[in-house]
Chains A and B, each alone.
Chain A
Amino acid sequence: DTGVSQDPRHKITKRGQNVTFRCDPISEHNRLYWYRQTLGQGPEFLTYFQNEAQLEKSRLLSDRFSAERPKGSFSTLEIQRTEQGDSAMYLCASSPQPGALSPLHFGNGTRLTVT
């Protein structure tokens, strides 16, 4: 159990560019979640997967955002045509099964800065 891994740790990009983040959950964790945390705020839910199926998307996830988990293992979050408002920490979390009694294991996050 090496924990949830996110790559890169930091990303600086210019407005209008596309960026992609990767999350490797804990092995055999079926659930994978993406949250976004802006400065001075708590994390906000973006989306989650049960294996490879994306089960829910927040209204925060505009059509410029897309997330995939193609083989039910790692996940990617892509942001197209980045805007300054996309600057935030993007957190990934995984859990072994659904339900509130199954705790979330968070990664260190990817900090995105859009200039």
Chain B
Amino acid sequence: AQTVTQSQPEMSVQEAETVTLSCTYDTSESDYYLFWYKQPPSRQMILVIRQEAYKQQNATENRFSVNFQKAAKSFSLKISDSQLGDAAMYFCAYRPGGVNFGNEKLTFGTGTRLTIIP
């Protein structure tokens, strides 16, 4: 079974600085997708960024970028120029590739609570 591990329960960063959140995963699959989701307090979870395992290039979305190390099974999220609105729980998630039965569900890590210090 696939597992996702986030070893940093809490992180904090000064506003405008850069922070990196860690995620490792375990899978025997070669085709899969990795995601970072953000869950602000009392608000719905939203997708931050997605990485396809077959792509060597790291995904970027504005101030958010990932460092995807497939051999090491590592998938970290870098947030640049941190803003107060970035304060949230961040979840790393894994999904198998393909359209086979059982491939539709996401496996989430336990999350990292990010605090932005003004």
Residue numbers of A with Cβ under 8 A of B are: 3-4, 31, 33, 35, 40-45, 48, 55-56, 58, 91, 93, 98-101, 103-109
Contacts and interface: CB of A to CB of B under 8 A. Distances in A.
Interface string B23-43: 000000000010000000011
Given A31-B104, A93-B45, A108-B43, 12 more contacts: A3-B44, A4-B44, A42-B91, A42-B111, A43-B91, A45-B106, A56-B101, A56-B105, A58-B105, A98-B104, A100-B95, A104-B106
A93 B33 CA distance: 18
Instruction: Say what secondary structure dominates the interface of chain B.
Output: loop
Interface residues of B, number: 25
Contact of A48 (B93, B104, B108): B104
Given A91-B45, A100-B97, A106-B44, A48 B111 contact: no
Q: Which of A56, A103, A104, A109 gathers most chain B CB within 10 Å?
A: A104
Interface of B: 4, 33, 42-47, 50, 52, 91, 93, 95, 97, 99, 101-102, 104-111
Report the 7 A-B pairs with minimum CB-CB distance, sorted nearest first. A42-B108, A45-B105, A100-B33, A106-B45, A106-B44, A103-B47, A42-B91
A109 B93 contact: no
